[in-house]
């Protein structure tokens, strides 16, 4: 597709369950980012992938959060043993380089019961 | 730590007026800035960007101004339309080893009245 695609668009799960969120970046974009947005707030950086370099994981809030990326395509963000404070919109973005604009998907709205 | 913030959380304007949304940043090493528009239920949409070696950049109906002396960024929207109603975020990318990650402000709600 022409834009960043994320799935699912909505996810409701029980506390303690694991969830996996998917991001398909824009074709050809070498950089991929995950952010978290709590209700009424700005975006918090989580993790960044650039080509074959080691990812920048400095924004991951705990070891329950992890992310993988296959080459320069799909990425998955996994949250283990979900907690209620994990409820948020998880946004993925991609760009063609470090000083190029990041283009966002519409996010996955995660609700932990 | 670094912080990007906004002076005004809400802005209401009449259709046809010009809008100015302001943003203050604290990281003097930031080398790249972006303005995003976010509508309800959608991801942020790129509006315009500017690199730190510039002080002004114009797009279609939008202008971004960067004042590095006072670490201030603004977004000007000409002839504001009801479709411009949304939350606007400024974002900065730190220089050096900050890679591409962006630090976002809290957002300004722009409401355009017809």
The whole-angstrom distance between B95's CA and the closest CA on chain A is 10
**What is the model's pLDDT at position B99?**
62
**What is the model's pLDDT at position A72?**
80
Nearest to B21 by CA among B53, B52, B65, B57: B65
Q: What is the mean pLDDT of residues B20-45?
A: 93
Nearest CA in chain B to A55: B99
Rounded to whole angstroms, the Cα distance separating A92 from B48 reads: 19
Which SS3 state, helix, strand or coil, does residue A25 take? coil
Asked if residues A34 and B101 have their Cβ atoms less than 8 Å apart, the reply is: no
pLDDT in tens, B39-95: 999 999 999 999 999 999 999 999 999 999 999 999 999 999 999 999 999 999 887
Q: Does B97 touch chain A (CB under 8 A)?
A: no
- Cα A2 to Cα A26, A94, A105, B47: the distances in Å are 6, 12, 11, 17
- Cα B8 to Cα A46, B5, B75, B112: the distances in Å are 26, 9, 13, 15
In the stretch 56-85 of chain A, residues with CB closer than 8 A to chain B read 56, 58-59
The whole-angstrom distance between B89's CA and the closest CA on chain A is 7
- Residues contacting A5, CB < 8 A, separation 6+: A23, A24, A105
- Per CB-CB distance under 8 Å, the chain A contacts of B45 are 104
Q: E strands within B1-85?
A: 4-5, 10-14, 19-25, 32-38, 45-51, 56-58, 62-67, 72-77
Q: Does B96 touch chain A (CB under 8 A)?
A: no
């Amino acid at each position: 597709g022409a834009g960043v695609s994320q799935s699912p668009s909505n996810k409701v799960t029980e506390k303690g369950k694991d969830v996996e969120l998917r991001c398909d970046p824009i074709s050809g974009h070498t950089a991929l980012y995950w952010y978290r947005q709590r209700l009424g707030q700005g975006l918090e950086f989580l993790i960044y992938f650039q080509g074959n370099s080691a990812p920048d994981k400095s924004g991951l809030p705990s070891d329950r959060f992890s992310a993988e990326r296959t080459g320069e395509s799909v990425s998955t963000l996994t949250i283990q043993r979900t907690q209620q404070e994990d409820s948020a919109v998880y946004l993925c973005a991609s760009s063609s380089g470090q000083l190029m604009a990041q283009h966002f998907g519409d996010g996955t709205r995660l609700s932990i019961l | 730590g670094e912080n990007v913030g906004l002076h005004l959380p809400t802005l209401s304007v009449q259709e046809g007026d010009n809008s100015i949304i302001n943003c203050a940043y604290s990281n003097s090493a930031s080398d790249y800035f972006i303005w995003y528009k976010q509508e309800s239920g959608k991801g942020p949409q790129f509006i315009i960007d500017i690199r730190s070696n510039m002080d002004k950049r114009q797009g279609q109906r939008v202008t971004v101004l960067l004042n590095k002396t006072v670490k201030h960024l603004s977004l000007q929207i000409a002839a504001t339309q009801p479709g411009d109603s949304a939350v606007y975020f400024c974002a900065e990318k730190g220089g050096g080893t900050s890679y591409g990650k962006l630090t976002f402000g809290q957002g300004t709600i722009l409401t355009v009245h017809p």
